Structure 1
């Protein structure tokens, strides 16, 4: 078994020619202000989008860059959004802890006032007599 030469296995195109053709298609789409996408470039060039993704990652990155969706830019923007959300989450957790403390303090004050109100109602109706803590002289 002998291996066939690469030129016979491929459809007659070299990588360099395909790369140049993809660049020409990209330039053509840009010059006509057409919609630029990897699938659109692949269709116009007569290749599959998978070929561009897998065999020509530099071309795919160029297309994404021209579309404003480069991998690095997407990753950086997602990272910045994540950091912003984490900071917001941290602030909300701190606020939640503070509000929980306030709630506990107010519940204690409220319970004290409820007991005092019950005592004063009893005094007002004459059912309860307040004893002073100091003996009368």
Structure 2
């Protein structure tokens, strides 16, 4: 009965709980198998002899999974908002570009006309302001 491998129920429970806490603290993968390995027991022992601890582990795994899912969902919502804002900015920029291209084309024609007038090759048929003719 003094077998060094023999464990007391209390000691086994303490080791399993310690393994759970350690895996959570290390951000390791929490599972019944991982807890069993760290506590140096079999997963079957946890399932069959300590169903309350097995349920605790399953609950913690579910919470971790939900937390990851919620974090990913929040990140997705944020990125969609950023995407929406960027699409709006792109549409506004395209409208500005179109307006500026039109203004630029008018100015190019005006410069060509003024160059022609300056060289005397083009004569304005419009009366200049302030001449009263």
Question: For the superposition of Structure 1 and Structure 2, which TM-score range results when normalised by the shorter chain?
Answer: 0.5 to 0.7
Q: Deviations over 1:112-136 (max 9, x none)?
A: 00000011011111111111169x8
Distance 2:98 2:111 in 1: 20
Are 1:107 and 2:101 matched, yes or no? yes
Matched-pair contact (CA < 8 Å) for 1:25–1:41: no
Moved over 4 A (4+): 33-36
The answer for unaligned runs of 5 or more in structure 2 is 1-11, 48-53
Q: RMSD over aligned Cα, in angstroms? A: 3.4
2:59 is matched with 61
1:122 is matched with 116
Structure 1 residues 57, 124: CA separation in 2 closer, same or farther (over 3 Å shift)?
farther
- TM-score, normalised by the number of residues in structure 2: 0.62
The answer for unaligned runs of 5 or more in structure 1 is 1-20
Give, in angstroms, the shift of residue 94 of structure 1. Answer: 0.6
Matched-pair contact (CA < 8 Å) for 1:25–1:45: no
Give, in angstroms, the shift of residue 45 of structure 1. Answer: 2.6
Identify the match of residue 47 of structure 1 among 33, 38, 43.
Answer: 43
Distance 1:73 1:108 in 2: 53
Distance 1:125 1:41 in 2: 92
Give, in angstroms, the shift of residue 111 of structure 1. Answer: 0.4
Structure 1 residues 34, 82: CA separation in 2 closer, same or farther (over 3 Å shift)?
closer
- TM-score, normalised by the number of residues in structure 1: 0.61
Matched-pair contact (CA < 8 Å) for 2:16–2:36: no
> 5 Å matches for 1:17-36?
24-29=14-19, 30=21, 35=26
